[in-house]
Chain A
Amino acid sequence: MRKSFLAAGTALLALSAFTIATHARDLTIVSWGGAYQDAQREAYFAPFAKASGNKILDEAYNGETAKIKAMVETNNVTWDVVQMEAPELENSCDEGLLEVINWEKLGGKDTVIDPAIIGECGVGTILWSVILAYDSEKLGQEGPKSWADMWNVEKWPGKRALRKTAKFTLEIALMADGVAADKVYETLATKEGVDRAFKKLDEIKEHIQWWESGAQPPQWLASGDVVMTTAYNGRISKANDEGRKFNTSWNGQIYALDGWAIVKGSDNADKAYDFIKSATQPQAQAQLSAKIPYGPTHKDAVAAADEKTQKRLPSNPDYLKGALASSTDFWVENVEDLNQRFNNWASQ
């Protein structure tokens, strides 16, 4: 028995030795999970790890910037590079949660398209869209064609899925209520406009199933849990590549920009710059677009992509008719207030 006591003691000592000897944390990259992150892993993470000899840890999140706030405020930074939506990125930058980008380290600002310079802290990485999708094997080819159709519960009974954020949901509600794409943000800027959006949402509140991660919409369409859904365009294309027969409506699509940011106080800031630089090269970006059709941000990347890929990108002129550009400025100002109201509304 004395032996086991000694063994336990040694084990404890070993444990404390292990945990006290601080080892350098591997570069940790946080993105949106699922098929998109799989594509990133192949196009960005693995090649960078191989070329630089750095190990990479990757984690998925659903856009909870609060997690970054908590890390910075408690001085416990374990994320290095995070992919964020533009308004949240600018807001976090304003709050001092992100490093200000030194573009010199990335080869200068003129290598990327203008919108890819997101405030002071963001390096644009993809152009993506929120579109309407349904399973043609269940609804046939003549499914919903616009946001207004999403509200038609008589013709297409069943649950419809929307992203559980004020952003996109309110725009979609207004467009469904007949507001033209170029008047959406003008309307949302007024109290009446916001009320109008919520009133419109009330009409189908009982029929909404909220999604939080981008992997959910294609999965719910496939399992028949929802009859139609909003979705990130790339996830739907990816599901179709794997044999699904999902149809999409690009009418009133909302396109937006995502960017890389470095968390303030990251121990791996240098490696983070190296990574962002390698992930912004035209070849790497073209490869990602080929795997999952999100638009690149390097000026030469679209040209580097093949023709089939180019057609599937949100920037395809056919898809841009009646499209709405998500307004970073509007959401920078209003995201907190509207999310608060939205969350209260959704959980009541």
Chain B
Amino acid sequence: MIRLDPSLSKSERISVIATWIAALLVILFLMAPIITIVPLSFTSDSLLSYPIPDWSLRWYEVLFGSDMWMRALWNSLYIAFFATILAMILGTVASVGLTSPNFPFKGAVMGLLLTPMIVPIIITAVASYFFYAKLGLTNSYLGMILAHALLGTPFVVITVTATLLGFDSNQVRAAYSLGCKPIPTFFKIVVPQIQPGIISGGLFAFVTSFDEVIVALFMAGTEQFTLPRQMFAGIRENIDPTIAAVASVMILISLILLLGIQWVTARSEKLKAGKT
């Protein structure tokens, strides 16, 4: 696995091997907590410690039998789904405009549209809390969806503008000259080619919402509690193996999303490779 260049001197080899060992240890550090928490969710004990006395699905039964957790899971999926759709639509449409050579003040506007990603979320959360309260939108699904969509739009803008840069706009001209109207052209010519960008932007937006807790802390009423919000309460209150079970479920979901992104990127690279 380590390809040691035969021209390297002995001391260089040692430093290369040392770097590898360091890197592997760091990756172990990155994986360790995730590896540790999953088995704990299958314990039969009510304590979160090793060794695990007996394996059981007890905590998953608690989890899937609990109204509170199921509601939180449903809320998370529901809010993330609609926030993603909203972010995808707004972000994609804006990206098409932003990449037009006729768009004025591109840099400044782009910078502005990306600010939700840069401003610390605590500031966004507190500001939204006061603002949405005035509109009567705190403690509502709509409020959560709007707030999460906002956090997701920069990712869509980044990924879609990136794919649009590689898009050959002569195709649009060709379509127009063949009599195709702008909106069908957009859906028939542009969207299929920038689809990977839209999808990966959407996945980023989905994860952002699905994992978001600070805005939920301020804005969500009891009815809208999401999985992370409920987990936050659980961690502060009482870390029991149910938390480990929720964590494992969330790890599974992020694994699926990660594979989704990898698949999309691989596919778009294949597309690009096929084109040249």
Q: Write the residues of chain A forming the contact surface with B, with a CB cutoff of 8 angstroms.
A: 1-2, 5, 8, 11-12, 15-16, 18-19, 25-26, 28, 33-34, 57-60, 70, 74-76, 78-79, 212-213, 215-216, 219, 222-223, 242
Known: A8-B85, A60-B233, A76-B136. A34 touches B187 (CB 8 A): no
CB–CB A76/B141 < 8 A: no
Give 12 new A-B contacts, CB below 8 A, not counting A76-B139, A78-B222: A8-B85, A11-B85, A12-B86, A19-B141, A19-B142, A28-B221, A34-B238, A75-B133, A76-B136, A212-B236, A213-B237, A223-B47
Residue on B with the closest CB to A28? B222
Question: Which A residues touch B89, using CB under 8 A?
Answer: 8, 12
CB–CB A11/B82 < 8 A: yes
Least Cβ–Cβ distance between B129 and chain A, in angstroms: 8
Task: Identify B85's interface contact among A12, A70, A242, CB under 8 A.
Answer: A12
B residues 201-260 near A (Cβ < 8 Å) are 221-223, 233, 236-239
For residue B140, CB closer than 8 A to chain A, the reply is: yes
CB–CB B138/A60 < 8 A: no
Residue on B with the closest CB to A16? B142
For residue B192, CB closer than 8 A to chain A, the reply is: yes
Question: Which B residues touch A75, using CB under 8 A?
Answer: 133, 136
CB–CB B187/A2 < 8 A: yes
Complex Cα spacing A213 to B46, Å? 19
CB–CB B140/A215 < 8 A: no
Known: A26-B223, A78-B222. A216 touches B237 (CB 8 A): yes
For residue B13, CB closer than 8 A to chain A, the reply is: no
Task: Identify B191's interface contact among A1, A16, A18, A59, CB under 8 A.
Answer: A1
Top-10 shortest CB links A-B: A74-B133, A1-B187, A19-B142, A78-B221, A215-B238, A59-B222, A78-B139, A57-B222, A213-B237, A215-B237
Task: Identify A18's interface contact among B46, B141, B222, CB under 8 A.
Answer: B141
Question: Which A residues touch B221, using CB under 8 A?
Answer: 28, 78
Question: Which B residues touch A74, using CB under 8 A?
Answer: 130, 133-134, 138
CB–CB A219/B238 < 8 A: yes
Question: Which B residues touch A242, using CB under 8 A?
Answer: 46
CB–CB A33/B133 < 8 A: no
Least Cβ–Cβ distance between B275 and chain A, in angstroms: 20
B residues 103-139 near A (Cβ < 8 Å) are 130, 133-134, 136, 138-139
Least Cβ–Cβ distance between B137 and chain A, in angstroms: 9
For residue B267, CB closer than 8 A to chain A, the reply is: no
Least Cβ–Cβ distance between B8 and chain A, in angstroms: 49
For residue B150, CB closer than 8 A to chain A, the reply is: no
Residue on B with the closest CB to A5? B187
Least Cβ–Cβ distance between A67 and chain B, in angstroms: 10
Complex Cα spacing A8 to B82, Å? 10
For residue B173, CB closer than 8 A to chain A, the reply is: no
CB–CB B239/A219 < 8 A: yes
Complex Cα spacing A15 to B142, Å? 8
For residue B188, CB closer than 8 A to chain A, the reply is: yes
Question: Which A residues touch B72, using CB under 8 A?
Answer: none
Residue on A with the closest CB to B190? A1
For residue B145, CB closer than 8 A to chain A, the reply is: yes
Question: Which B residues touch A219, using CB under 8 A?
Answer: 238-239
Known: A34-B238, A219-B239. A19 touches B223 (CB 8 A): no
Residue on B with the closest CB to A79? B222
Known: A1-B191, A15-B82. A57 touches B233 (CB 8 A): no
Complex Cα spacing A79 to B139, Å? 11
Q: Can you report 8 A-B residue pairs in the complex whose CB atoms are below 8 A from each other?
A: A1-B188, A33-B233, A34-B237, A34-B238, A74-B130, A74-B133, A213-B238, A222-B47
CB–CB A15/B145 < 8 A: yes
Least Cβ–Cβ distance between A90 and chain B, in angstroms: 25
Question: Which A residues touch B223, using CB under 8 A?
Answer: 25-26, 57, 78
Complex Cα spacing A8 to B92, Å? 13
Question: Which B residues touch A213, using CB under 8 A?
Answer: 236-238
Of the candidates A1, A25, A33, the one having the most CB atoms from chain B within 10 angstroms of its own CB is: A1
Residue on A with the closest CB to B146? A19
CB–CB A76/B133 < 8 A: yes
Question: Which B residues touch A28, using CB under 8 A?
Answer: 221-222
Least Cβ–Cβ distance between B158 and chain A, in angstroms: 21
Complex Cα spacing A1 to B223, Å? 35
Question: Which A residues touch B239, using CB under 8 A?
Answer: 219
CB–CB A60/B237 < 8 A: yes
Least Cβ–Cβ distance between B262 and chain A, in angstroms: 23
Complex Cα spacing A216 to B140, Å? 31
Of the candidates A2, A19, A60, A70, the one having the most CB atoms from chain B within 10 angstroms of its own CB is: A19
Least Cβ–Cβ distance between B87 and chain A, in angstroms: 12
Interface string of B46-62 (1 = CB under 8 A from A): 11010000000000000
Complex Cα spacing A70 to B134, Å? 12
Complex Cα spacing A78 to B187, Å? 43
Of the candidates B134, B192, B236, the one having the most CB atoms from chain A within 10 angstroms of its own CB is: B236
Residue on A with the closest CB to B189? A1
Question: Which A residues touch B145, using CB under 8 A?
Answer: 15, 19
Least Cβ–Cβ distance between A177 and chain B, in angstroms: 31
B residues 24-57 near A (Cβ < 8 Å) are 46-47, 49
CB–CB B238/A216 < 8 A: yes
